[in-house]
Amino acid sequence: MSEHHRIADFITQDVLEELSLPSNLNYGNAIFLSGGVQFIERGDLRCEAWVGGKLTELSSSLTQRRRTTLFIDVDERLAWRCTCNSKKSQIFCKHCVALSLALLEVPLNL
């Protein structure tokens, strides 16, 4: 595993726009801005957090807390898991967006 590949190195606004649907970018940004990302583990190669749960004015699907992980896979690429996804589809969901923004510590420029 190369030291040159950290999760934060993979995440830019351009990458997020490529990975995620516009609606999930908006929701993820809102979750991040509401302070809805609570880190469980914050490493260079693996980050895990509870995401969501602090929004009051948005829809209830956003207020449910999900456990979300971003990590570098064996091919040294960005990979992710979220408990809102089924096993078959691993979309880069709003929780993944929010966790990414929490790592960057800046909101999206939407």
The residues of the shown chain that bind Zn ion, judged by CB under 5 A, are 66, 82, 84, 93, 95
- The encoded tokens of residue 11 equal 């995440």
Beta carbon nearer to Zn ion, 47 or 95: 95
Q: How far is the CB of 2 from Zn ion (least distance, A)?
A: 28
- Beta-carbon contacts of residue 106 (< 8 Å; ≥ 6 apart): none
Beta carbon nearer to Zn ion, 12 or 64: 64
Number of neighbouring beta carbons within 10 Å of residue 67:
15
Q: How far is the CB of 68 from Zn ion (least distance, A)?
A: 6
Nearest to 61 by CA among 107, 99, 23, 13: 23
Q: How far is the CB of 41 from Zn ion (least distance, A)?
A: 17
